[in-house]
Amino acid sequence: MKFLDLNKEYIWYKKDVDLAIADVFQSGRYLLGDQLELFEKEFALLIGVKNAVGVKNCTDAITILVNNLLKINVNMPIILPNFGAYPTAVACKNITNNIYYVDVDNSLTIDTDKLPSSLKNGIVIQVHLFGNNGNPNIVNYVKENNHILIEDCAQSTGSGSGELGDYSVFSFYPTKPLASMGDGGMICSDNNLEEYKVLRFYGQLNNNIKKLGVNSRLDEIQSAILNVKIKKFQILNDKRIEIAKRYKKHIIGIKEWSKCIYHQFPILFNNRDIIIKELNKRDIPFMIHYPHHVSEIDVLTGRYNKVEYRVNDKIVSLPIHPFLKENEIQKVEEFLYKYKEYEYVN
């Protein structure tokens, strides 16, 4: 059993992916071509927004977006969850030190009850972690405090996330629900995004530098792969959801605010050492997502860092990829049935 099987995913798409890549090679156009333009249009339709701009990766998407928004006011506070993938915080910390971390709740997304009422006119980045949509009530907080809302949907493509915020960002990293075979990212919004097309290409327009931009282009090969996968990836999401339903017959798992596509299947266990020992004994692969709360990493420390709901020493993610065999799923189910009493329930 593998925790993730990207080779089987490639085989599942192989015929169409191989043809799409060959078409790009034959075209001789590798950057900013028809494949990217098509994917941007198709992806915007999928998310339910008017505009989408492809960039090299999701970290770039956050960096370009936040850096541009801070031109409105360089002192804008940025509010982030204090648990989750580190690149979101890395992107913001590279731009500003004015970062405030907020606890997560038992959905492992921002605890909206902990959002600071003292902060106004800033940016809130809601991370839909593990394919689990965050609390939609965050929109009320954002409106009341005149914040800009960015949805970080790196792990939740296809869950319905991405249309509540002022902007949303996505990742097509190979492990993600809609996955390229390299790096890839997207900025989405109902707002006009033409300036971001300029910013991703050095700030160049009509062979003239109009703004100070960066080099961050979603290339034609990855775009072609994604144009193939966007037609069928929801089938794989549905398979994850079906496997999760089976797991959840034995264990509660994390709280869901709305549709969850289970990019990962994390569980909080009271005694993780025992759980890890048993997983190893049964040859069930697992991952620790993530070993530290974000603010506890020295280089990422923000202005407010309190961790009241500690999950980093309890969390274990179990295999849930859509190519698991029936006997492998049963093996995980048997483990969950035996050790469900160790689950941490808030």
Q: DSSP letters of 36-57?
A: HHHHHHHHHHHHT-SEEEEES-
Give the CATH number of domain 234-342: 3.90.1150.10
Q: Exposed/middle/buried for 304, CB within 10 Å: 0-12, 13-18, 19+?
A: middle
pLDDT of residue 55: 98
User: Does the model's pTM come out above 0.85?
Assistant: yes
Write out the DSSP string of 250-316. Answer: T---S--SS-B--SSEEEEBS-HHHHHHHHHHTT---B-S-SS-GGGSGGG--SB----S--TTTEE
pLDDT of residue 276: 97
- Tell me how far apart the 2 most distant CA atoms of the chain are, in Å: 65
Cα distance between residue 107 and residue 144, in whole Å: 23
Structure tokens at 188: 């989405």
Residue 206 pLDDT class (50, 70, 90 cuts): confident
Residue 345 has pLDDT above 90, yes or no: no
Residue 346 pLDDT class (50, 70, 90 cuts): low
Residue 210 pLDDT class (50, 70, 90 cuts): confident
pLDDT of residue 205: 84
**Does the bond joining 290 to the residue before it have cis omega, within 30 degrees of 0?**
yes
Range with the poorest average pLDDT among 37-41, 125-129, 339-343: 339-343
Q: Any alpha helices (H) in the chain, and if so which ranges?
A: 6-27, 34-47, 58-69, 87-93, 138-144, 194-199, 220-229, 233-247, 272-281, 326-339
Residue 99 has pLDDT above 80, yes or no: yes
- Please state the rounded mean pLDDT for residues 331-341: 95
Instruction: Specify the CATH architecture of the domain 6-229.
Output: 3-Layer(aba) Sandwich (3.40)
Asked whether the beta carbons of 8 and 323 are under 8 A apart, the reply is yes
The residue extents of the domains of the chain are 6-229, 234-342
| pLDDT tens figures, 60-98 | 999 999 999 999 999 999 999 999 999 999 999 999 999
Residue 292 pLDDT class (50, 70, 90 cuts): very high
| pLDDT tens figures, 104-161 | 999 999 999 999 999 999 999 999 999 999 999 999 999 999 999 999 999 999 999 9
Q: Which residue has the tokens 């035996």?
A: 338
